[in-house]
C-alpha cells in the first residue's frame, strides 16, 4: 500500500512538473504619452481619464494668442514688401523706357533692378514665414494618434502646456497583451512562439495565446524574467485586468 501511495504521489508530482502556472496582467503594447510641440496655455480640454477616443479625435487645444500675433506680423510684412515692390517695379519699368531714350544713366537702372530683385526675394521669404506660422496652428489642436482610452490626465484648462512634458497617456485597446514573470529556473523550458493557455478569471474568459517576446533582463529581487503573450481579446478586456497563464510543457 505504501508503495502504491508513493507511486501515486510521484505520478502527481510528475504531472504538475509538466505545467507552469503564472499570475499575469493584461497590458497594452501601444501606450503613448501625448505632449505638445509648442508652449501655451491650455484653452480647451475635451477628454478625461477613462475617455474612449478614436484616431484623429481632438484631445485638447492650446491658446493661439501668440501665434495670432506672429501671423499678423507676417501678413503685415508680406503686404509691406508687396507695396514696396509695386512702387519699385513701376519705377524700374519707367526708368527702362527713359534709359532707352538716353534720359537716365545705366547705373540708375541697375540700382532699381537690384532693388526689384531684393524686394522680390523679401516677399518670398515673408510668404515662407507666413506659411510656417499657419502650419503651427495644427500643432495647437492636439489630436489622438490612434484609437484608445485615456488612462491618465496630467493637465487642466488654464495650465501651461510645455513641450516634452506628458499631458495625457493614451492606451491602445486594439493591441493588448498578457505580461507575466517566469522564474529563471523555468526560462529554458519556453521559447518565443510557444502556445499557452490564457485565462481572465473575472470574465471567465479562456483562450490560447502565443509567447511573443522574452525580455532578457532579470528582476534582481525575484530572479524572474518578463514574458509577453499575444491573445485574442474581446471588447470587455481592459489593461490592468488579472490573468492566469498555464504553460503545458511537452
Q: How far apart are CA 112 and CA 122, in angstroms?
A: 15
The top-level CATH class assigned to 65-138 is mainly alpha
Intervals of CATH 2.40.30.170 along the chain: 21-29+173-248
Give residue-wise pLDDT tens across range 143-170: 999 999 999 999 999 999 999 899 999 9
In which residue ranges of the chain is CATH 1.10.287 found? 65-138
How much is the pTM? 0.65
Question: Could you tell me which residues come within 8 angstroms of residue 237 by beta carbon, excluding any fewer than 6 positions away?
Answer: 26, 176, 200, 203, 205
2 Cβ neighbours under 8 A, 6+ residues apart: none
Instruction: Give the pLDDT mean for 233-237.
Output: 86
Mean pLDDT of 50-70: 91
- In CATH, what is the architecture of 21-29+173-248? Beta Barrel (2.40)
Parts of the chain belonging to CATH 2.40.50.100 = 31-62+139-171
What DSSP string describes 173-184? TTSEEEEEEEET
Taking each helix axis from N to C end, the angle separating 106-136 and 65-100, rounded to the nearest 10 degrees, works out to 160
What pLDDT, on a 0 to 100 scale, did the predictor assign at position 4?
47
> Is the domain defined by 31-62+139-171 classed in CATH 2.60.120.10?
no
What pLDDT score was predicted for residue 8? 47
Amino acid at each position: 500500500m505504501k508503495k502504491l501511495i508513493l507511486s501515486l504521489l510521484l505520478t502527481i508530482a510528475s504531472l504538475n512538473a509538466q505545467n507552469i502556472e503564472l499570475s499575469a496582467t493584461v497590458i497594452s503594447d501601444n501606450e503613448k504619452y501625448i505632449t505638445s510641440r509648442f508652449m501655451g496655455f491650455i484653452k480647451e480640454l475635451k477628454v478625461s481619464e477613462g475617455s474612449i477616443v478614436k484616431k484623429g479625435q481632438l484631445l485638447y487645444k492650446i491658446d493661439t494668442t501668440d501665434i495670432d500675433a506672429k501671423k499678423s506680423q507676417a501678413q503685415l510684412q508680406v503686404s509691406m514688401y508687396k507695396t514696396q515692390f509695386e512702387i519699385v517695379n513701376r519705377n524700374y519699368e519707367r526708368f527702362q523706357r527713359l534709359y532707352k531714350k538716353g534720359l537716365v544713366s545705366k547705373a540708375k537702372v541697375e540700382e532699381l533692378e537690384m532693388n526689384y530683385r531684393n524686394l522680390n526675394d523679401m516677399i518670398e521669404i515673408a510668404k515662407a514665414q507666413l506659411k510656417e506660422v499657419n502650419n503651427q496652428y495644427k500643432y495647437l489642436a492636439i489630436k489622438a494618434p490612434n484609437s484608445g482610452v485615456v488612462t491618465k490626465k496630467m493637465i487642466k484648462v488654464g495650465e501651461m502646456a510645455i513641450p516634452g512634458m506628458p499631458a495625457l497617456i493614451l492606451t491602445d485597446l486594439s493591441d493588448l497583451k498578457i505580461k507575466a514573470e517566469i522564474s529563471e529556473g523555468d526560462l529554458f523550458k519556453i521559447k518565443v512562439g510557444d502556445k499557452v493557455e490564457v485565462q481572465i478569471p473575472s470574465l471567465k474568459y479562456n483562450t490560447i495565446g502565443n509567447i511573443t517576446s522574452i525580455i532578457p533582463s532579470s528582476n534582481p529581487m525575484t530572479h524572474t524574467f518578463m514574458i509577453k503573450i499575444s491573445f485574442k481579446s474581446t471588447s470587455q478586456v481592459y489593461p490592468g485586468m488579472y490573468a492566469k497563464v498555464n504553460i503545458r510543457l511537452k
